[in-house]
Amino acid sequence: MQYFVQQMVNGLTLGSIYGLIAIGYTMVYGIIGMINFAHGDIFMLGAFTALIVFLILTAMFYSVPVVVALLIMMVVAMLMTSLYNWTIEKVAYRPLRGSFRLAPLITAIGMSIALSNFVQVTQGPRNKPIPPMVSQVYNVGGISISLKQIIIVIVTVSLLAIFWYLVNKTSLGRAQRACEQDRKMAALLGIDVDRTISITFIMGAALAAVAGTLFLMYYGVVAFSDGFVPGVKAFTAAVLGGIGSLPGAMLGGLMIGFIESMWSAYFSIDYKDVAAFSILAIVLIFLPSGILGRPEVEKV
């Protein structure tokens, strides 16, 4: 039983990271109906930015409190990824918004490859490790819970609460929901659609940056290729939970995390990805819109 609970804790930690990335996918899709396949590389850029900030801090100061270092890393990573995501939305996606549906998809894949190769050229192809930032481990009833896992869960829950409030209780959230339902009508009612979409891209990038910082803190290593697999997993989580639903994205992320953790513990770790995608296929057979997704209504 202790082993089972231990794997549940590990799955919760991993699922929290996937969920943060998945929210970025689902927010963009909910408003403009487009999958931003560069989002996984935005996550990777956030991790590398956090790495560079950490190296600068440790080089300039002899000792920096972990809390201060993490906050600075997150803030700088959020600013960098937000700037990049805002730029690609304005330059690459906005001009193609009214074109046929495959054009933005191809552009998104192109931006993903461009960002991945840019990081590979500037930072090198090798894994980039950092010294352990947080090493405390607590034993609770025979279950090992590290401080890193506690930080990840607390940050995830806090961000979910903040974003839920933004989407449901603020004028920005009302504008986003209006654009999600009908962009043309929202524009006729005085909503700045382009501004709302840009802010949505920025919000998704900020979440991906936080996830990248937490990923770096948890695993202690990052590589230029780390945007692909977590990005695909997060996209799977968004589809599993119901693309377009924020709670569904987090639920899907937690499910993917639990599936991977449990499968690795009781079966072969080599097939944990197969298990995750198989569960996705089974769920979509019976729930084509995902667990919390709403059936798409065709406007006529």
CB count in 10 Å sphere of residue 42: 31
C-alpha 7/C-alpha 43 separation (Å) is 25
- 8 Å CB contact between 291 and 244: no
CA distances (Å), origin 292, targets 25, 279, 282, 283: 15, 16, 15, 11
Question: Rounded mean pLDDT of the chain?
Answer: 86
- What number of H helices and E strands is found in the chain? 11, 4
The answer to which of 67-81, 92-106, 115-129, 138-152 has the lowest mean pLDDT is 92-106
Q: Of 33 and 131, which is predicted with more confidence?
A: 131
Residue located via tokens 């709403």: 294
Percent of the residues in the chain that have a pLDDT greater than 70, as a whole number = 98
What are the pLDDT digits (tens) for 161-203? 888 888 888 898 889 888 888 888 888 888 898 899 899 999 9
Q: What is the pLDDT of residue 81?
A: 93
Q: Which of these, 27, 292, 6, lies nearest to 159 by C-alpha position?
A: 27
Tell me the per-residue pLDDT of 54-71, one tens digit each, with 9 for 90 and over: 999 888 887 788 888 899
Specify the pLDDT at position 183: 84
Please state the pTM of the whole predicted model.
Answer: 0.90
Start-end of H helices in 124-245: 147-169, 171-181, 183-188, 193-219, 228-241
